[in-house]
Amino acid sequence: MDATVGQEYALQNSRHRPEVKFWKTEEVSVTLHPDPALGISYLEAATLERIHRRPITLNVMVVGAAGLGKSTLINSFFQSDLVAGREDTDDLDDVRVTPYPAQLEEDGVNLHLTALDTVGLHRTDDLVLITDYLDTQYHQYMVTEHAPRRPAVLPDTRVHLIFYLLQSGTRGRLTPFDRRNLQALSAKANVVPLLAKADIFTPEERHQAKLQVSCLRCSRLFPLP
């Protein structure tokens, strides 16, 4: 999705949306040490110079039903125990989105990474809390960007990528619940659907799941190639 379109949409609709406060931020930022290295030294000199002036910011959110291993995926993706001891809950008053900031330094280049863990989806209404969070981040970024006195480097809390975990109990069939969620989220950010617990699927079931997700391309879903 074009980030500019998302920002304009959020700004236009901000007056019709109540202030949303259903997330918290972990104050401690974890330092990551990926192995193998990311290969930043192989980037072009002009790119490295630009990154030195303005570090890369990447915010990754994981969304899916309860019990699919969202926290485990975050820890595996970042090769660190960013999320530990968190269990999904049905309590609607619980925090719905929790950012876990992390720092990565390689060859003198800093990357600001944030993993956003979400409480498991149980019904369609739960997704509204997440889409409101996405819209709020767009709105805050645009307000700061257009402020008379804005910082030299804008704090970017927009979600750049969403990993959506498909339900594993359907044996490769895409449920209406997942279909609606994928279509709604792909209108807000870039979405990559992942088949949760894929090791329990047969090759035929995995192939069927991939085919069904590919059919959603016409619904503004753009998975990674």
Q: Do 37 and 108 form a contact (C-beta atoms < 8 A)?
A: no
Whole-angstrom distance, CA of residue 167 vs CA of residue 195: 7
Count Cβ atoms below 10 Å from residue 157 Cβ, excluding itself: 19
Spell out the domain ranges in the chain. Answer: 3-219
Mind listing the pLDDT tens digit for each residue in 7-24?
A: 444 444 444 443 333 344
Fold of 3-219: Rossmann fold (3.40.50)
- Provide the sign of the torsion angle of the four alpha carbons 70, 88, 205, 212, taken in this order: negative
Per residue in 26-74, pLDDT (tens digit) is 456 777 777 677 777 777 888 878 877 777 889 999 998 888 888 888 8
pLDDT at residue 50, rounded to an integer = 80
Helix segments in 54-162, DSSP class H? 70-78, 124-145
Top-confidence range, 23-27, 77-81, 164-168: 164-168
Per the structure block, which two tokens stand in for 73?
A: 């995926």
Per-residue confidence (pLDDT) for residue 169, from 0 to 100: 64
Whole-angstrom Cα distance, residue 159 to residue 50? 22
- pTM for this model (two decimals): 0.76
Of 212 and 186, which is predicted with more confidence?
186
